[in-house]
Amino acid sequence: MKLFRLRPTSMVLFMLCIMYFITYLDRVNVSTAASGFGAEFGLSNTQIGLVFSAFAYPYLVFQVIGGWISDKYGARRTLIVCGALWGLATVLTGFAGGLLSLLAARLLLGLGEGATFPAATAAMSRWVAKEKRGFAQGITHSAARIGNAVAPAAVVAIMAAYSWRAAFFVCGAISLVWVVLWAFVFAEHPKDHPRITQAELALLPLPKGKAPKVPWKALFRRMFPVTIVYFCYGWTLWLFLSWIPQYFLHSYNMDLKKSAIFASAVFLAGVVGDTLGGLVTDRLLIKTRCLKRSRSWMVAVCMFLTLACLVPVMFGHNAYVSMVCLAGGFFFAEMTIGPMWAIPMDIAPEFSGTASGIMSTGSAAAAILSPVVSGYLIDRYGSWDLPFAGSMLLMAIGVILAFGMKPEHKFENPTEPVVGAGNAPEHPTTSVVVSK
**Spatial distance between the Cα atoms of 174 and 21, rounded to a whole number of angstroms:** 11
Q: Summarize pLDDT for 237-292 with one digit per residue, the tens.
A: 888 877 887 788 877 888 777 887 888 888 889 888 988 988 899 899 889 988 89
- 420 has which bridge partners? 423
Burial string for 227-256 (b: 16+ CB within 10 Å, else e) reads bbbbbbbbbbbbbbbbbbbbbbbebbebeb
- 423 has which bridge partners? 420
Give the pLDDT mean for 205-232: 84
The secondary structure of 419-430 as a DSSP string is: SBTTB--SS---
Calculate the alpha carbon distances from 349 to 12, 27, 75, 356, 374 in Å. Answer: 19, 29, 15, 10, 36
Q: Summarize pLDDT for 330-365 with one digit per residue, the tens.
A: 999 999 988 998 899 889 877 877 888 899 889 888
pLDDT higher than threshold 90 for residue 212: no
Q: Which of helix, strand or coil describes residue 229?
A: helix
| Residue 109 CB-density burial (10 A; 0-12 exposed, 13-18 middle, 19+ buried) | buried
The secondary structure of 339-383 as a DSSP string is: HHHHHHHHH-GGGHHHHHHHHHHHHHHHHHHHHHHHHHHHHHH--
**Spatial distance between the Cα atoms of 10 and 65, rounded to a whole number of angstroms:** 28
Question: What value does the mean pLDDT of the chain take?
Answer: 84
Q: What is the per-residue pLDDT for 280?
A: 92
Q: What is the per-residue pLDDT for 210?
A: 63
Which letter does DSSP use for residue 295 in this model?
I
Q: What is the per-residue pLDDT for 395?
A: 95
Q: Which of helix, strand or coil describes residue 191?
A: helix
**Spatial distance between the Cα atoms of 161 and 356, rounded to a whole number of angstroms:** 40
Lowest mean pLDDT among 68-82, 126-140, 315-329: 126-140
Top-confidence residue, 306 or 43: 306
Say how many C-beta atoms besides its own lie within 10 A of residue 428's C-beta: 8
Q: Summarize pLDDT for 12-48 with one digit per residue, the tens.
A: 899 999 999 998 888 778 877 888 888 888 888 788 8
Lowest mean pLDDT among 157-161, 228-232, 348-352: 348-352
pLDDT higher than threshold 50 for residue 123: yes
Q: What is the per-residue pLDDT for 324?
A: 93
Q: What is the per-residue pLDDT for 4?
A: 52
Under a CB-based contact definition with an 8 Å cutoff, are residues 226 and 357 in contact? no
Please report which confidence band the pLDDT of residue 206 belongs to, taking 50, 70 and 90 as the band edges. low
Calculate the alpha carbon distances from 247 to 31, 322, 375 in Å. Answer: 11, 10, 11
**Spatial distance between the Cα atoms of 39 and 43, rounded to a whole number of angstroms:** 7
Give the pLDDT mean for 149-155: 80
pLDDT higher than threshold 60 for residue 385: yes
Rg (CA), the chain: 21
Domains and CATH numbers, the chain: 2-190+215-404 (1.20.1250.20)
| Residue 221 CB-density burial (10 A; 0-12 exposed, 13-18 middle, 19+ buried) | exposed
Name the percent of the chain lying above pLDDT 70. 92
Name the percent of the chain lying above pLDDT 90. 29
Q: Which long-range contacts (CB under 8 A, 24 or more apart) does 250-258 make?
A: 250/384, 251/317, 251/322, 251/384, 251/385, 252/319, 252/322, 254/319, 256/35, 256/156, 256/159, 257/156
Top-confidence residue, 49 or 17: 17
Q: For residue 282, which phi and psi values (nearest 5 degrees)?
A: -70, -40
Please report which confidence band the pLDDT of residue 78 belongs to, taking 50, 70 and 90 as the band edges. very high
